[in-house]
Amino acid sequence: MSPVFQSHNARTGETLPGEFPEATSEQIDAALRAAADAFRTYRNAPVETRALFLERIAAGTEAAAEDLIELADQETGLGRPRLPGELVRACNGARMFAAMLREGSWVDARIDTAIPDRKPAPKPDIRLMHHPVGPVVVFGASNFPFAISVIGTDTVSALAVGCPVVVKAHPAHPHTCDRLAAIVKSAALESGLPDGVFAMVHGRSNEVGTALVAHPLTEAVAFTGSLRGGRALFDVAAKRDRPVPVYAEMGSLNPVFLLPRALATRAEQIAEGFVASLTLGTGQFCTNPAMVLAQGGAELDLFLNEAGRRVAAVAPASMLHRGIHQAYEQGVNRIQILSEVLVTAKASGADLSKGQAAAVLFETASETYFKHREVLREEVFGPSSVVLRCPEPSEMVRFAESMDGSLSATVHGTPEDLEEYRELIDVLQTKTGRLVINGYPTGLEVCPSLHHGGPYPAATHSFFTSIGLNSYLRFVRPFCFQDVPEMLLPEELKNHNPRGIWRMVNNVRTQSPVG
Amino acid sequence: MSPVFQSHNARTGETLPGEFPEATSEQIDAALRAAADAFRTYRNAPVETRALFLERIAAGTEAAAEDLIELADQETGLGRPRLPGELVRACNGARMFAAMLREGSWVDARIDTAIPDRKPAPKPDIRLMHHPVGPVVVFGASNFPFAISVIGTDTVSALAVGCPVVVKAHPAHPHTCDRLAAIVKSAALESGLPDGVFAMVHGRSNEVGTALVAHPLTEAVAFTGSLRGGRALFDVAAKRDRPVPVYAEMGSLNPVFLLPRALATRAEQIAEGFVASLTLGTGQFCTNPAMVLAQGGAELDLFLNEAGRRVAAVAPASMLHRGIHQAYEQGVNRIQILSEVLVTAKASGADLSKGQAAAVLFETASETYFKHREVLREEVFGPSSVVLRCPEPSEMVRFAESMDGSLSATVHGTPEDLEEYRELIDVLQTKTGRLVINGYPTGLEVCPSLHHGGPYPAATHSFFTSIGLNSYLRFVRPFCFQDVPEMLLPEELKNHNPRGIWRMVNNVRTQSPVG
């Protein structure tokens, strides 16, 4: 008999009824074999079948919304309105990919027609489009039980392009995962798809994750979570006889830069927005602003006073699970014990027995960062942020040049500030995946222009995004047809362009037929 | 003093005058520091400056063509008309990327405009385009001293998008590399670019390659060569504190499938084309057809007779260097000693002291492949191919399902054949990067639709191509601007679209301005 684990109420810590078995290696093997079998037909399933499958996942989720929100609330403590909002976002995601499939241009079709009488050699007919890579293993995140879990972007983008998916259920919300998996399975059945197109396994041990990534039939892996967890899976995949990509999004510092004129004119307003961003969802976002840089002075004191006042007033809340809470406490302590660091403000009343996090704001001189870089470069997942007082503008550039890869950087500045700090803004673009001006890094806008990734350790591969329309690029590869007769070409590459998609034909973007 | 090595005449084995120093770790460090420094300005250099730089590389190469061809011929033995043709291809490549820069749409610009009054939350303005990744290390291939070496696709695609390049000169043609590097350096100077935008180091030892890939300032690596070499660099990069991608193209079997009706109607004609493809450039192509599959019978015998006759008549020629020749001899021997394998034909008269390869054609039953897979799956770089006699059509599918990733697969068939073998053609698409119908795998058509890559071990990452227009994708990453004011946006993302490029604006492809 394989070992089992249980789920817990995030707020009370109480054990919830029900047991979840650690997947055995036989179960993992069976899931991937079934996925590889399903790939034979699923990759060629009609566009409309795949689109309907995604829409049924969305509809099934919406139909079970109340139950799902109740389950997820027990297991994550994320509450309302967050969970209903996130459920809508996840369903919108599935529908976004259904729409992408029906529109069809996502395959990036390219056609270069033959020139049989070209000298010195004839030019062949060459055509290109995206093909799915094969079975994808998805590791969801604890902080997004809908949008980055069983039915999240990873799963629906992979299913959209024709890849079967094996999900590793998050052990912090296994009940929610089970319910969602049943919805996906039923949507697959209703769509007449092979059972292996979707599977889910449970596991709290590293062994389950390792076995999924190491399995010879796994073609790609998506992961959202900690640097340690993501890197461990990356290392497993890199050591395979046949390495496969692990697309891990592992969070970052998301520094916020407060430029002088902006600080002088709206320190309190920025403090309000900043604290809201820092403490949203108990600070449990990959894009949480964990570091602030500004030149010292009266304006910065005003910001610190106001931000401190607001941080102190944040009601403590239970974190997603006890492991995350413990890591938060340890992370905060690592900073707190540095003699150069001052605690500007800390929320009071946190009940540690309930896994509650106290929001905290630190301040220190920017030189502390360079002195204790090994401590301060590390993301503390939760509502904690460190303000670095910079002696002069060049110190911000120095920080930017030395910082690790980050999902985002935020700059608050007046037009004059931004003009004056062009070098900073330029350097930040080499270190991050997204630049936010006069806003806040949390709250991703899911759209074709979004990029959620960045240089390592924000992500393991900076070309790819884990959120937004382009997230499907992780699960496709270009495939090239040379002199392939019309009868064997996919619809997307046939001369008459039956799907009416945008294509690049002989170097011209067009929706017209060839010839 | 650092150790030195010398170059050799590929045909005679004679040592050529001149010595090349193994790069020291200090020299490697200096090259990458200079590249990182140059990146600060080069990434923002005007499009026209970068385009002119590429065109000057092409013009400089053409001006020195006779010398370069003479040098390369001595060092590689590839001769005429191959080398002049390859030089033209390399210069066309540089100009293709200059044209891509001027046209401008390669940045994949996407714009989603703000909706300030959207409920429940305002929609921010989000814009996306490609940014260069930073310093790129390029390892050229011995078999393409122009098109996959110092001025090859890797280098010019990286330079095009704004990445400085450090080339590791190929130790089998260091004189040619030196001459080409001088041309690139002079083009950089003439273009007013910082010196660090391009550097080249020599090295025959693994240490030089390892140090280049392990260097903390290296952001991406391009490699074309053997599986062993590519995998070693991939492993070095994966173990870094901050892993970086190694885009290695490592060759493959490129199987050719002869379907019954095609074989019945034109066995001799196919044999002619096949042997020409097999022995072109002494078989020294990544796309060399190293395996043939067909159902046994009189038609296959006719193919074998004709192909054998032609292989036996191939004039022996010196391979690129003695190491490759030795590996070829060993590879051929590994196959030859299998008792189930018959030597159909072998060219005679090869002078081993001159590193000459004898073309060879083997034949065996397809079951031999499954029995001796560890031997027969391995690419033998050179003019050697194995014909597998298949007892029935399903055996070809079985082979396709079990084969390793390959750059290409080729199928010869009449329309009826192709209809009947749809399953084979479908499975081949999951294992390769390119499908060729009624043609031959060698001779790449460089165009927007080309993909030269495929599932491992054809390439380390199947999304990317090492040849063709899309090769630049290896050296960019999407960067996202959120609520960034017009004044700070790159030209490509400004509302009025000053460059007139194709963009995706609010989900519509257009060249029009925003708003």
Cβ of B439 and A124 within 8 Å?
yes
Cβ of B437 and A123 within 8 Å?
no
Q: Is the peptide bond before A120 cis (omega within 30 degrees of 0)?
A: yes
- Distance, in Å, from the CA atom of A290 to the CA atom of B493, rounded to the nearest integer, reads 29
Same domain, B283 and B396: yes
Q: Is residue A296 part of a domain?
A: yes
Choosing from B86, B219, B249, B306, which is the catalytic residue? B249
Task: Give me the residue from B110, B425, B460 closest to A488, CB to CB.
Answer: B425
Query: Which of A43, A128, A429, A449 is the best substitution to test chain B (most B C-beta atoms within 10 A)?
Result: A449
We report the CATH number of the domain holding residue A421 as 3.40.309.10
Residue A455: closest CA among A429, A436, A477, A475: A429
Cβ of A422 and B488 within 8 Å?
yes
Alpha-carbon distance A86 to nearest alpha carbon in chain B (angstroms): 13
Cβ of B133 and A462 within 8 Å?
yes
How confident is the model at residue A2, as a pLDDT?
A: 76
We report the CATH number of the domain holding residue B200 as 3.40.605.10
Q: CA-nearest residue of chain A to B456?
A: A242
Number of domains comprising chain B: 3
Q: Determine whether B49 is exposed, middle or buried from the number of CB atoms within 10 Å of its CB (0-12, 13-18, 19+).
A: middle
Which DSSP string corresponds to B297-350? SHHHHHHHHHHHHHHHTPPPEE-SSHHHHHHHHHHHHHHHT-TT-EEEEE----
Question: Residue A443 corresponds to which tokens in the numbers above?
Answer: 């709250």
Q: CA-nearest residue of chain A to B121?
A: A443
With beta carbons less than 8 A apart as the criterion, state whether A129 and A109 touch: yes
With beta carbons less than 8 A apart as the criterion, state whether A165 and A138 touch: yes
Same domain, B292 and B412: yes
Task: Name the amino acid, one letter, at B54.
Answer: L
Alpha-carbon distance B174 to nearest alpha carbon in chain A (angstroms): 30
Same domain, A417 and A316: yes
Q: Is residue B195 part of a domain?
A: yes
Same domain, B392 and B505: no
Helix (H) or strand (E) holding B248: strand B246-249
Residues of B with Cβ-Cβ distance to A121 under 8 angstroms: 443
Same domain, B64 and B149: yes
Task: Give me the residue from A127, A134, A422 closest to B449, CB to CB.
Answer: A127
SS (H, E, C) B114-135: CECCCCCCCECCEEEEEEECCC
How confident is the model at residue A1, as a pLDDT?
A: 57
Q: At what angle do helices A65-76 and A47-63 cross, to 10 degrees?
A: 70
Helix (H, G, I), strand (E, B) or coil at A455: coil
Question: Residue A325 corresponds to which tokens in the numbers above?
Answer: 């809470």
Query: Which of A102, A247, A422, A482 is the best substitution to test chain B (most B C-beta atoms within 10 A)?
Result: A482
Task: Give me the residue from A234, A453, A507 closest to B243, CB to CB.
Answer: A234
Cβ of B477 and A463 within 8 Å?
yes
Q: What is the DSSP letter of A445?
A: -
Q: Is residue B450 part of a domain?
A: no
Cβ-Cβ contacts under 8 Å for B225 (sequence gap 6 or more):
B139, B141, B142, B248, B250, B251
Helix (H, G, I), strand (E, B) or coil at B387: strand
Residues B376/B380/B382/B387 CA torsion (nearest 10 deg) = 0
SS (H, E, C) B142-178: CCCCCCCCCCCHHHHHHHHHCCCEEEECCCCCHHHHH
Same domain, A289 and A241: no
With beta carbons less than 8 A apart as the criterion, state whether B69 and B83 touch: yes
Same domain, B126 and B67: yes
- Distance, in Å, from the CA atom of A484 to the CA atom of A92, rounded to the nearest integer, reads 38
Active site residue A390: no
With beta carbons less than 8 A apart as the criterion, state whether A507 and B479 touch: no
Q: CA-nearest residue of chain B to A127?
A: B449
The pTM (predicted TM-score) of the whole model is 0.98
Q: Is residue B490 part of a domain?
A: yes
Task: Name the amino acid, one letter, at B444.
Answer: L
Range of the domain at B137: 25-250+462-475
Q: Is residue B444 part of a domain?
A: no
Q: Is residue B445 part of a domain?
A: no
Which DSSP string corresponds to A138-205? EE--TT-TTTTSTTSHHHHHHHHHT--EEEE--TTSHHHHHHHHHHHHHHHHHTT--GGGEEEE--SS
Helix (H) or strand (E) holding B478: strand B476-482
Q: Is the peptide bond before B3 cis (omega within 30 degrees of 0)?
A: no
Cβ of A482 and B434 within 8 Å?
yes
Query: Which of A242, A280, A445 is the best substitution to test chain B (most B C-beta atoms within 10 A)?
Result: A445
DSSP helix, strand, coil percent of chain A (3-state; round to 5): 45, 20, 40
Q: CA-nearest residue of chain A to B233?
A: A238
Q: Is residue B446 part of a domain?
A: no
Cβ of A131 and B430 within 8 Å?
yes
How confident is the model at residue A120, as a pLDDT?
A: 85
Task: Give me the residue from A419, A478, A482 closest to B439, CB to CB.
Answer: A482
Count of positions (residues) in chain B:
515
Cβ of A437 and B243 within 8 Å?
no
Residue B53: closest CA among B133, B210, B161: B161
- Distance, in Å, from the CA atom of A277 to the CA atom of A288, rounded to the nearest integer, reads 7
Q: What is the DSSP letter of B447?
A: S
- Distance, in Å, from the CA atom of A331 to the CA atom of A510, rounded to the nearest integer, reads 54
User: In whole angstroms, how far apart are CA A476 and each of A163, A167, A243, A494?
Assistant: 9, 18, 16, 20
- Distance, in Å, from the CA atom of B216 to the CA atom of B240, rounded to the nearest integer, reads 8
Residue A469: closest CA among A124, A140, A108, A21: A108
Same domain, A204 and A317: no
Which DSSP string corresponds to B72-98? HHHHH---TTHHHHHHHHHHHHHHHHH
Same domain, A261 and A277: yes
Residues of B with Cβ-Cβ distance to A433 under 8 angstroms: 477-480
Same domain, B311 and B383: yes
Choosing from A286, A299, A329, A390, which is the catalytic residue? A286
Looking at every residue in chain A, the average pLDDT score rounds to: 97
Same domain, A237 and A381: no
ipTM: 0.97
What is the Cβ-side half-sphere exposure of residue A413, based on CA atoms within 13 angstroms? 27
Q: Determine whether B185 is exposed, middle or buried from the number of CB atoms within 10 Å of its CB (0-12, 13-18, 19+).
A: middle
Strands A246-249 and A165-168: unpaired
**Residue segments in chain B with a per-residue pLDDT below the cut of 50:** none
- Distance, in Å, from the CA atom of B72 to the CA atom of A139, rounded to the nearest integer, reads 51
- Distance, in Å, from the CA atom of A108 to the CA atom of A502, rounded to the nearest integer, reads 8
How confident is the model at residue B2, as a pLDDT?
A: 76
Residue A171: closest CA among A323, A31, A58, A352: A323
pLDDT tens profile A239-296: 999 999 999 999 899 999 999 999 999 999 999 999 999 999 999 999 999 999 999 8
pLDDT tens profile B442-460: 999 999 999 999 999 999 9
Convert A95-116 to b/e letters by CB count within 10 Å (16 or more is b).
bbbbebbeebbbbbbbbbeeee
Query: Quick count: other Cβ atoms within 10 Å of Cβ A302?
Result: 17
Residues of B with Cβ-Cβ distance to A509 under 8 angstroms: 105, 502, 509
Alpha-carbon distance B127 to nearest alpha carbon in chain A (angstroms): 5
Question: Residue A254 corresponds to which tokens in the numbers above?
Answer: 């998301």
Phi first, then psi: give them for residue B144, nearest 5 degrees: -135, 80
Choosing from A55, A75, A249, A299, which is the catalytic residue? A249
Q: What is the DSSP letter of A8?
A: B
Cβ of A426 and B476 within 8 Å?
no
Cβ of A43 and B405 within 8 Å?
no
Task: Give me the residue from A121, A405, A480 closest to B433, CB to CB.
Answer: A480
Alpha helices in B337-462 (DSSP H): 366-371, 373-376, 393-402, 415-420, 422-429
Cβ-Cβ contacts under 8 Å for B220 (sequence gap 6 or more):
B133, B134, B136, B137, B158, B163, B244, B245, B246, B247, B474, B475
**Residue segments in chain A with a per-residue pLDDT below the cut of 50:** none
Alpha helices in B191-297 (DSSP H): 206-214, 227-238, 260-279
Helix (H) or strand (E) holding A271: helix A260-279
Place of tokens 């590879």: B331
Same domain, A231 and A289: no
Q: What is the DSSP letter of B459?
A: B
Strands A198-201 and A220-224: unpaired
Alpha helices in A351-410 (DSSP H): 366-371, 373-376, 393-402
Active site residue A190: no
Query: Which of A80, A402, A424, A488 is the best substitution to test chain B (most B C-beta atoms within 10 A)?
Result: A488
Phi first, then psi: give them for residue B283, nearest 5 degrees: 70, 15
Q: Is residue A53 part of a domain?
A: yes
- In sequence order, the β-bridge partners of residue A258 are A294, A412
Radius of gyration of chain A from its Cα atoms, rounded to whole angstroms: 25
> Greatest CA span in chain A, whole angstroms?
82
